[in-house]
Structure 1
Amino acid sequence: MTEEVDTSQFNADELQPPAWLDADFIEQALSSYEKVPLQVTDLKITPATAQGDHYASVMFRTVAEYTTAKGKFSKALIVKTMPEQEGHKKDILSESHIFETEILMYSKALPEFERILREAGDNTKLYVPCVYHSLEPRKVMIFEDLVPLGYTVIRDRPATKEELEKVFSKLAKWHAVSMKVINEKPDFLKEFKYGMWDTSAFLSDPMVTTGVPCFLEMLDKVPELTKYKPYFEKIKENYLQRISEIMLGYRSNPQANVYYVLCHGDFHIRNMMFKNNKETGAFEDVMLVDFQVSNVCPITIDLTYSIYMLMESKERCDLGRDFINYYFSVLVDTLKKVGFKGEMPTQSGLWDQIRAHKYYDFFLMTSFLTIILAIKTNSLKLTDVLLDPETKQKSYFLDAYLNDVKKLLPKFEEMGYFKNL
């Protein structure tokens, strides 16, 4: 059955589950996972996430009551599938490899990464158990629901310093182990070659192509920023190509001085769930989720993305220096623990690479920062920002966005980002 819910806070395509998502389907999936015959006696289905939490899939929360020879049980699950409704979401994802990639992450990469960490004496948990996955007759994955275990998505406040340090610690450990694997068994991760920048539908989508034009229009109308317009006029024809060269470089033209990792690819605040102790309220853990665009690329990709999509204004306008330096300390410590035999990365080398990949900063500031700030400030709806040109242009004049841009552009100038464009 579908439980009655307040529909206003959810994505429209998650209000009605598909016909195939029924008790029989969950029964088969659970029977295989539990490795015992069972019968689902009741199934409640609701939307899994709020508007703005995600875009590249359709998700439902299910609670299955079932019986086995040992008695009655209940299990909360998250069902993730491809969009079936016609529209922008289905169009932009139709040619992608997001489900193939995420299934490989849960079935191959992340278990191996955890195994390597365990051997080094580190019990860090990198992922939630995957109950079921398939590509045929439909693309679908089922996970254990983290909410009953005390995990929640942060929506109504900034993440704390302690929470973000835990986030960057997990990312650093994941990156470190992937560096070891790339160094010792490069073919093991060869299938992880499909990020969003490999997808023509993404590269031609207005979400990507209209960012700089909207940004230029804003620069025209904000007197103190107009002086920066020539720089963005200069890059508007080729900056996406420059980013593609960075994103795809490992596969097309790997460089000896670039630190390559298996990156998350969409490292923002709504793709992580935080757990606090029920009794004391003390922060305990964070779990990263949504590995649909994970791929091997420069280490800078997740870090630069986090500056715009995860951090708050104060840290962002310093280009995340403190958090990234903390991340680096965990990265090096983990590389040593797991016995990395390659050339050890340096902190100065990391920052050199971040600066060298400045076009990704330009893209994120002009195209994605408006989206995340519209969501965080509850100013505009995600679907409106993505699909309505007038609403999108409005997002460039949000106070939160203008305040950040007025600090970021001088910072870019100070760091020499506008030289040799």
Structure 2
Amino acid sequence: MGSEAEADFVVPDHLTREVFRKCIEKDLNVDNIRIVHFEITPGSSPGDNYTSKIYRCKVIYNQPHTEDKTIHFLAKSMIVIHLSDDFSQSDIIEREINVYRDLLPKLSKFLGGTIVAPKCYDIFTEPNQNFIFEDLKALGYTCADRVSGLDADHLKVVLNKIAKFHAASIKLLEEEPSIEGAFPLGFINEISMKEPVVQGFFKGNLKLAAEIVNTIPGYERFSAKLMKVYDNFVDIALKMMRPDPVKDTKVMNHGDLWVNNFLFKYNEETKEPTDVLFVDYQGTFVNSPAIDINYLFSTSAQLDPLRRKLDLIEKDYYPVFVNELQRLEVKSVPSLEDIFGQIRSREMFSIINLFAVLPLVSINREESKTNDYTQFLDADKSKRKTLIGMYTDRFMEAMKFTLNNLEDVIDETINEYS
């Protein structure tokens, strides 16, 4: 039935010929597809996915009196995670289902031909939630290097694309304001912050960071400051996510805009990135564009573009954003100062994700092979992994720059709790 790409790889029982035959027939609007051959292989490297398993499927098919054709699929099968009754994994997955079934088709009307996500052929819920996508790798798209992060060229295409996504969502929200009610919350919210695993992931690393900076000459002063953030973490985090009805620009955020959720296409001659598509829409919600932008830079930018964050936003995000709003005849266009103000007001979100996410992003591929969701349930294992990431050169450089660059933001924040 399938070819094993690794010695211990087992083809899942639920990904059958019939699943892919139905996908092809639905796409072509026919009922006479015959599967000649198909094979399934692992679709991601060990440790790259925490909440799902990814599979690639190559299918050779035909119709009566036609030649064989080949099509490539990518299947995402969600891993069952046991959370509290209040914070349900099914709610997160249901949100992604709504994005692919409802939001993205509506958003596409305003994107002017711009594609932001892979084509979704099917979604089914047995044995668990499963998504069947087109395999972007077969179309020439590949992942960037998670460990080294994104340089300015990669960030340019990401900023260009998310600017179009944000602008189109403003028009959609104008025409269908009820959509906001379907996507009100991101990963950080009052419900998730009561979940020990979630709070531990975001909050626990602040304490480790406070211990580390206390051992670094010239950075000892940040130890007490980070502990003050730790002590008031839930309130600080929730403030970052609370929309300002007066100052904020209301857009649909991707919600998990980091390097592993990007697939890039490259110029064959220059090897420069020319396009990007976004995957994993489990965190999509309505809020300021500063959420996506700050998360992108704190989790995925190399040090040089991180230092030039505002310049890159002014050069690669804002002009595209404005052009799209004008094309869509949106009357209220935020100024660059408006966008910068929103980014500034949510820089504590950058700091939170610097310590929560970047350590795991920075871990080398060999060490990350054993990464999975269970490490967040085991305090010792989680601490060991986090410390490995925090002692990488990439994390140390980003941390030192961010702490110095945003020290006034940290001070303003913790002074509220004096």
Please give the range of the TM-score, normalised by the shorter of the 2 chains.
Answer: 0.7 to 0.9
Aligned position for 1:204: 196
CA contact (8 A) 2:48 2:371 kept: no
1-side partners of 2:128 and 2:228: how far apart?
Answer: 45
Aligned residue for 1:97, secondary structure, equals helix
1-side partners of 2:13 and 2:127: how far apart?
Answer: 14
Aligned position for 1:330: 320
1-side partners of 2:390 and 2:267: how far apart?
Answer: 39
CA contact (8 A) 1:268 1:309 kept: yes
Aligned position for 1:4: 4
Q: Does 1:259 align with 2:254?
A: no
Aligned position for 1:21: 15
Q: Does 1:383 align with 2:371?
A: yes
- AA matched with 2:159: F
Aligned residue for 2:89, secondary structure, equals coil
User: CA 1:239/1:96 → structure 2, altered by over 3 Å: closer, same or farther?
Assistant: farther
User: How many residue pairs were aligned?
Assistant: 399
Aligned position for 1:272: 262
Aligned residue among 411, 414, 417 for 1:418: 411
Moved more, 349-358 or 278-287: 278-287
| CA deviation vs aligned residue, 1:236-278 (integer Å, no higher than 9, x gap) | 122233222432x35xxx5221112111111111211111244
- AA matched with 2:20: I
Deviation at 1:113, TM superposition (A): 2.1
- AA matched with 1:24: E
CA contact (8 A) 1:203 1:209 kept: no
User: CA 1:97/1:27 → structure 2, altered by over 3 Å: closer, same or farther?
Assistant: same
User: CA 1:54/1:328 → structure 2, altered by over 3 Å: closer, same or farther?
Assistant: farther
Aligned residue for 2:412, secondary structure, equals coil
| CA deviation vs aligned residue, 1:176-231 (integer Å, no higher than 9, x gap) | 11122223421134212343224638952132231111111112222321111121
- Give the alignment of 1:10-409 within 5 angstroms: 15-36=9-30, 37-69=32-64, 70-84=66-80, 91=83, 95-118=89-112, 123-135=113-125, 138-155=128-145, 159-198=150-189, 200=192, 203-205=195-197, 206-247=200-241, 249-250=242-243, 255-278=245-268, 281=271, 283-318=273-308, 320-325=309-314, 326-341=316-331, 343-375=332-364, 380-381=368-369, 383=371, 386=376, 388=381, 389-409=383-403
Aligned residue for 1:132, secondary structure, equals strand
2-side partners of 1:152 and 1:193: how far apart?
Answer: 31
CA contact (8 A) 2:157 2:273 kept: no
- List runs of 5+ in structure 2 lacking aligned partners: none
Aligned residue for 1:55, secondary structure, equals coil
2-side partners of 1:328 and 1:300: how far apart?
Answer: 12
User: CA 1:194/1:3 → structure 2, altered by over 3 Å: closer, same or farther?
Assistant: farther
CA contact (8 A) 2:149 2:259 kept: no
2-side partners of 1:235 and 1:160: how far apart?
Answer: 30
2-side partners of 1:262 and 1:195: how far apart?
Answer: 11
| CA deviation vs aligned residue, 1:273-314 (integer Å, no higher than 9, x gap) | 111244675643222222121111221111001112221112
Measured on the aligned residues, the alpha-carbon RMSD in Å equals 2.7
Deviation at 1:363, TM superposition (A): 0.7
Normalising by structure 1, report the TM-score: 0.86
User: CA 1:358/1:184 → structure 2, altered by over 3 Å: closer, same or farther?
Assistant: same
User: CA 1:297/1:137 → structure 2, altered by over 3 Å: closer, same or farther?
Assistant: same
Deviation at 1:2, TM superposition (A): 3.0
- AA matched with 1:38: I
Moved more, 52-61 or 152-161: 152-161
User: CA 1:209/1:410 → structure 2, altered by over 3 Å: closer, same or farther?
Assistant: closer
Moved more, 133-142 or 384-393: 384-393
Aligned residue for 1:61, secondary structure, equals strand
User: CA 1:117/1:397 → structure 2, altered by over 3 Å: closer, same or farther?
Assistant: closer
1-side partners of 2:58 and 2:82: how far apart?
Answer: 27
CA contact (8 A) 2:120 2:133 kept: yes
Deviation at 1:155, TM superposition (A): 2.3
User: CA 1:348/1:53 → structure 2, altered by over 3 Å: closer, same or farther?
Assistant: same
Moved more, 381-390 or 36-45: 381-390
Normalising by structure 2, report the TM-score: 0.86
- List runs of 5+ in structure 1 lacking aligned partners: none
Moved more, 294-303 or 388-397: 388-397
Moved more, 101-110 or 286-295: 101-110
2-side partners of 1:378 and 1:321: how far apart?
Answer: 34
